[in-house]
Structure 1
């Protein structure tokens, strides 16, 4: 029997009676001519983090490169690029039909910013009821003026989780005419030390208060603000993840985080636990894996090395008795 520490309500047991897919069917929606690595990092991280099946929905120009990275991800070239508008209805129908079985969708890594993509996102947001993690270019699309995506997020906020970096936060705040200021992590008001890795924090003022205000503008959507400490809030409660990650900021670590949050938010929902707990677990595992890889690779650290340590990072929260 496995004894699990503070994340025991989320992490499923390794049980031979479970069937394929029960531990998570996660889709990464992104991948374009310019960007093929990001959606792969998100998808493979969900597998290394304990998921069973990983799917990638990308453009035709990205499909062959992504397929060549690994045989472990199922790749569908259902996304379109500008100039392929005549295929829009067929593409949307394929995407909606195929993603119905997914437990969560990680939308944005390598997605691109074409106008046709916004139309696809609008239908996906409206008609798909899976958990949806928005990262990278998906956050760019929703922050553009005169788009219909924000309204859908507000109406279905319990289905969405946003994982913005500093620049993406600035765009979202600008959309709502809220002034941005830099976080002062030293002044964060700690309310309760739940764990050595994360702490409950006040969200009445300071940077956590700014993130809580943004969350409330989006009808209490969960926001995972990436930074020196990841600040996680749904506008009602807030947490800061304090565990140290890597000192080298190689590209792709945000894709790992979004993939793991896609998986762990599903685990939380499956166990009838608040999805914010899955976001905390995703942040902690990402940082712990990065620290393990950094201790070994130092200046040579790259994202694939971090991905190699995700399993050990997760398993460190599970002890065999």
Structure 2
């Protein structure tokens, strides 16, 4: 059982500040404190990968990449010059093959991957993402954390081989972030049962987490972050009642950046972690998810207070840096 389960909201945020976030030091070089890649974006859906990547960048990630479909790339590039956008995916593999050599080279330098925002359901795009999951598992021993959302979850619900790949990752390296509809689809696919059966949602999430050996982040009025029988966290930080497309993409971006910070400390030993509490990677991953949830909910609340019903995801996304600084103020550190 994780020590996180016994902590209050304030204690969890303070612990994330001390354990997960590396300080800004002049001795660090570009890329040491975060390299995140968002995989998604097709001709029809270009906003989602941008929102996810932009949230990651505003959290302070050093390098933020987007791997997308060829026709989506110039559009996403036009949204922001701060993101590195790579047109390596293809929905027309006969005329424009997916460039797996370039994907493989880029991912060898990446600390965290997000799969799904704006991906669409083209079979070629979904197959490419399955190959990417297999690549991370077999060539990187599953050590690169992958956050799977949106149509990445559609892939997982409909492809048994993709499910088998996910089960083989080390615990805490795969995070699923389903909304209500995606959760229902995934549960039904995995257990051949409708979610209307008499098992409550939290138990269902625990079953998914245990079967796939992953963290299940159930979005809703209360965010439930479930790691099988190890630890379940609940976040009731106030957000807003306004719902717009793209809010979940902000969440995947904030979680991805927190995971990259956690890897800098846990995996890469960039600084000595706080020695008072022993932490496994699963603890780091859970705390990263909780922090991302808190930041996203607070952004939604502030954006709604400013814009009311006119609130859009851009309004919420633009609060990410401010909320991060408010939650985790940078301390003056003597080098």
TM-score bracket for the superposition, by shorter chain length: 0.7 to 0.9
Aligned 8 A contact 1:244 1:291 in 2: yes
Pairing 1:173–2:187 present: yes
Tell me how far apart the structure 1 counterparts of residues 317 and 301 of structure 2 sit (CA, whole Å). Answer: 11
- Which segments of structure 1 move beyond 6 Å, counting only runs of 4 or more? none
User: What 5-or-longer segments of structure 1 have no aligned partner?
Assistant: 184-204
Aligned to 2:64: 54
Question: Does the 8 Å contact 2:167/2:212 carry over to 1?
Answer: yes
CA distance in 1, matches of 2:201, 2:170: 22
Secondary structure class of the residue paired with 1:251: coil
Could you say what secondary structure the match of 1:117 adopts? Answer: helix
1:5-20 counterparts in 2 under 5 A? 5-7=14-16, 8-20=18-30
For residue 250 of structure 1, the aligned residue among 226, 233, 244 is 244
Match of 1:137 in 2: 151
Deviation at 1:271, TM superposition (A): 2.5
Moved more, 296-305 or 11-20: 11-20
Q: What aligned pairs does 1:271-282 form with structure 2 within 5 A after superposition?
A: 271-272=265-266, 273=279, 274=283, 275-282=285-292
Q: 1:143, 1:171 within 8 Å by CA — same for their partners in 2?
A: yes
CA contact (8 A) 1:268 1:277 kept: no
SS in structure 2 of the partner of residue 125 of structure 1 = helix
Give the TM-score normalised by structure 1. 0.86
Q: What's the RMSD between the two structures over aligned residues?
A: 1.9
Query: 1:73 aligned to 2:78?
Result: no
Match of 2:166 in 1: 153
Structure 2 counterpart of 1:292, from 298, 302, 308: 302
1:264 aligned partner: 258
Query: Distance between the aligned counterparts of 2:327 and 2:25, measured in 1?
Result: 17
Where does residue 207 of structure 1 map in the other structure? 201
Where 1:61 maps in the other structure, the secondary structure is coil
Contact in 2 for aligned 1:157/1:218 (Cα 8 Å):
no
1:318 is the counterpart of 2:328? yes
1:44-78, CA deviations, whole angstroms, 9 ceiling, x for partnerless residues? 10011121111111111101111110100001000
- Tell me if the contact between 1:182 and 1:207 (Cα under 8 Å) persists in the aligned partners: no
**Map 1:34-45 → 2, pairs under 5 A:** 34-45=44-55
What's the secondary structure of 2:88's corresponding residue? Answer: coil
Q: Distance in 2 between matches of 1:243 and 1:215?
A: 23
Distance in structure 1 (CA, Å) of the matches to 2:170 and 2:241:
34
Which blocks of at least 5 consecutive residues in structure 2 are unaligned? 1-12, 267-278
Give the structure-2-normalised TM-score: 0.83
2:289 is paired with a residue of what secondary structure?
Answer: helix
Q: Does structure 1 residue 125 correspond to structure 2 residue 139? A: no
1:107 aligns with 2:115: yes
Give 2:275's aligned residue.
Answer: none
What is the aligned residue count?
Answer: 293
